[in-house]
Amino acid sequence: MTDFASLRATMVERQLRRRGIADERVLAAMAEVPREDFVSERYRSRAYSDSALPIGEGQTISQPWIVAAICQALELGGGECVLEVGTGSGYSAAVLCRLAAEVVSVERHEPLAAAARQALDSLGVANVEVIVGDGSRGVPERAPFEAIAVHATAPAPPATLLGQLAAAGRLVVPIAADAADLLTVFRHRDGELSSETIGPCRFVPLVGEEGFGPA
């Protein structure tokens, strides 16, 4: 029988800590969430591989380092309301919910949203709400958000999502570039917006009004 707990501990040390993930809260959350519960039986043996994996509907579960890098860049202290765009398998939401007070997660594929809800429910997660809709438009009725995580590549920083950030809020989103997507964090500070590139990455495209066209 596969020892997933051991594989998870190895993932945290080798894929995350040794590659620059230093936020101990993020490392602890990644060490707690059973990634194997968010992939199909076909891919369970590869749950802790250093790669993205298919989850259906043409979507993927991101490699562990990407999930951790996004969470670290959000600089969560525990009391925030986080907007997540692209629920996917629900794995990132399961990590985020251990770092923030509340997570509102938007997924455009109903089958993925339903599967994510089931996986989160099976873990007893109570502070994540999964909504079906166009994530590029955010959730204006729940704004502002202290942090927003986008798990799909945008052609440019989505203005609507930036507008739903609270003062001193952080938005992490991959931005399309020629050679590779660039995972970027945008910060509101003293009324000004700054940006910092975390590193190259590959994501599925953001589909929606402020993405690469409507679904």
Tens digits of per-residue pLDDT, 15-39? 999 999 999 999 999 999 999 999 9
Confidence check: pLDDT of 213 > 80: no
Check residue 188 and give its pLDDT.
85
Check residue 190 and give its pLDDT.
77
Answer for the pair 38, 61: CB distance below 8 angstroms, yes or no.
yes
Give the tens place of pLDDT for each residue, 85-111. 999 999 999 999 999 999 999 999 999
Domains present along the chain, CATH in parentheses: 4-201 (3.40.50.150)
Mean pLDDT score, 121-140 = 97
The residues carrying an active-site annotation are 62
pTM: 0.95
Confidence check: pLDDT of 214 > 80: no
Which band of pLDDT confidence, cut at 50, 70 and 90, is reported for residue 215?
A: low
Confidence check: pLDDT of 118 > 90: yes
Which band of pLDDT confidence, cut at 50, 70 and 90, is reported for residue 182?
A: very high
- 199-215 exposure pattern, b = at least 16 Cβ within 10 A, e = fewer: eebebbebbbebbeeee
